[in-house]
Structure 1
Amino acid sequence: MSYLFLFSMLLLAILVSSPAVKGKIGEGKVKYYLGKLSPDQYVVLHDVLIPSKNGKTTQIDHVVLSQAGIFVIETKNYQGWIYGSEKSKKWTQVIYKRKQSFHNPLHQNYGHIKAIEQIIGDQIKPPYYSIIAFDPKSTIKKMDVNSPRSFVIYSNQLVKLIEKHDETVLNRLQIKRISQRLEASNIVENGSSKAHIKQVRTDQQEKLMKVKAGVCPKCGNQLVTRNRKNGNGSFKGCSGFPKCRFIA
């Protein structure tokens, strides 16, 4: 019996430590916080999977519709110290002396916003607020974000930030129409999430192959070697700069 208990505990520990489970836990916490928003003033959507450009899909953790605009929220259930900037391709997570990089979530959220714009159309043009919400167990050490509608905060600060924006840009009818369009476009068929994950992995592999071949995955131009301004090493960048700012 004791062996069965130990095996169960080990299996549980493995499951909880997996990135997918950690992500769901983080999303669950944010869902709890957003549940505190008044349903009379806000429409809150969770785990939205909608079409994006080129026939692909994009998955958005949370969307909040209010009279002030649309809040697009990406959750990160990370630990350790977090470093990053709005323009950098990668951000850094530091746990003790171990460093690990991850894709800039503000860039990821930009793709989410473009997908929502595509669904809403040109008749309604609300302001968008891009929010990256880290779990409070992490520490946001250094963050260079200058855009007035981009925020990197802790998840328990979400409600206060959203309620702080109380200007009236959208009326109730517009909010209802946006909500209906997003819900109508939300892909909920069985296996859709797995297909989306498979698509993301395929896109990452194709991007890596193009970079290895010296081709910019964004515009198709050649990648060239450039020296950093501070003289500290070099990097691969698109030859189409400044029209294309891809950095490998």
Structure 2
Amino acid sequence: MNLLFFLLSIFLAVMFAAKKYNNSGYKDASGHSYFDTMTDSGRKGEYLIYRYLERLDGQHKLLANIYLPKADGTTTEIDLIMISATGIYVFESKNYSGWIFGDENSKFWTQSLKGGKKFRFYNPIWQNKKHISVLQNHLGLGSEMFRSYIIFSEHCELKKMFVHSPEVKVMNRDVMFKEMALDVAHLANRLSILEINQIYNDLSRYALADAATKQAHIDAMQWRN
């Protein structure tokens, strides 16, 4: 009886979470099913960020998994974009655990896990800077229109983090909503509702990429590495 109750509780919890997912705009924005998202750490992190952004006040539009073409014929993949009156916010999601050490000026950052295991990963500020550069060139807008957010899971601790650029923020996901709400509330308006919709409609063409586009992006990344 206890086992049956336990299994029923799990089933109901999954059904509730799936319903919440289906009610989120992330499903339509990304094209990913609940199962595909929950079984992929990266997608799950993006979904959780998207849910926070949906709750923000004011006129804004959200995009997920944009494969934007570059001048060399390859693409850059942008996790999440929010277009609002105060500018264009570009998000790089890192759904990591452990301790994170990083400096904006260092090419590689370090993830330290229990047991002494350490892993290096490419500086996500530099990674997102490249995304913003492609986005800026595509839209023909000045750099002042863009803000870079590097979002880590709340399951990691940012031990030593040095960020020098005022338009760049690095934080855990559980404090992101408060930081974003402050930005949206206090930064000067730069875009009209018409401009927000125009930019959204333009970039929407590069969402929901087909399998061939995704594979070409992966192949190009592997070739560069």
TM-score with structure 1 length normalisation? 0.69
- Cα distance, 1:147 vs. partner? 0.5
After superposition, the Cα gap between the structure-2 partners of 1:187 and 1:22, relative to the gap in structure 1 and judged at 3 Å, is: closer
Q: Does residue 98 of structure 1 match 2:130?
A: no
Q: Using the alignment, how far apart are the partners of 1:182 and 1:140 within structure 2?
A: 32
Match of 2:149 in 1: 131
Shifted more, 183-192 versus 42-51: the winner is: 183-192
After superposition, the Cα gap between the structure-2 partners of 1:121 and 1:150, relative to the gap in structure 1 and judged at 3 Å, is: same
After superposition, the Cα gap between the structure-2 partners of 1:151 and 1:173, relative to the gap in structure 1 and judged at 3 Å, is: same
Aligned pairs, how many? 184
Match of 1:37 in 2: 56
The letter for the 2-side match of 1:139 is: E
Asked if the contact 2:64/2:207 (under 8 Å) is kept, the reply is: no
Match of 1:191 in 2: 212
- Cα distance, 1:187 vs. partner? 6.4
The letter for the 2-side match of 1:201 is: Q
The letter for the 2-side match of 1:200 is: M
Higher relative contact order (CA 8 A, sep 6+): 2
Match of 2:40 in 1: 21
* Aligned-partner SS, 1:54: coil
Q: Using the alignment, how far apart are the partners of 1:66 and 1:118 within structure 2?
A: 19
Asked if the contact 1:86/1:146 (under 8 Å) is kept, the reply is: yes
Q: Does residue 145 of structure 1 match 2:171?
A: no
The letter for the 1-side match of 2:200 is: S
Q: Using the alignment, how far apart are the partners of 1:125 and 1:102 within structure 2?
A: 26
- Cα distance, 1:125 vs. partner? 6.2
Match of 1:115 in 2: 134
Asked if the contact 2:63/2:207 (under 8 Å) is kept, the reply is: no
User: Aligned-pair RMSD on alpha carbons?
Assistant: 1.9
- Cα distance, 1:156 vs. partner? 2.2
After superposition, the Cα gap between the structure-2 partners of 1:107 and 1:125, relative to the gap in structure 1 and judged at 3 Å, is: closer
Identity of aligned residues (%): 33
The letter for the 1-side match of 2:48 is: K
Q: Using the alignment, how far apart are the partners of 1:27 and 1:187 within structure 2?
A: 15
Asked if the contact 1:81/1:139 (under 8 Å) is kept, the reply is: yes
Q: Which has the larger radius of gyration?
A: 1
Q: Does residue 84 of structure 1 match 2:102?
A: yes
- Cα distance, 1:126 vs. partner? 5.0
Alignment gaps of 5+ in structure 1: 1-15, 205-248
- Cα distance, 1:95 vs. partner? 0.7
- Cα distance, 1:37 vs. partner? 2.3
The letter for the 2-side match of 1:179 is: Y
* Aligned-partner SS, 1:152: strand
More helix by percentage:
2
After superposition, the Cα gap between the structure-2 partners of 1:24 and 1:186, relative to the gap in structure 1 and judged at 3 Å, is: closer
- Cα distance, 1:45 vs. partner? 0.7
CA offset digits 1:131-188 (Å, max 9, x no partner): 1000000000010101001010111222222221232111111211211221134462
- Cα distance, 1:79 vs. partner? 0.5
Q: Does residue 160 of structure 1 match 2:181?
A: no
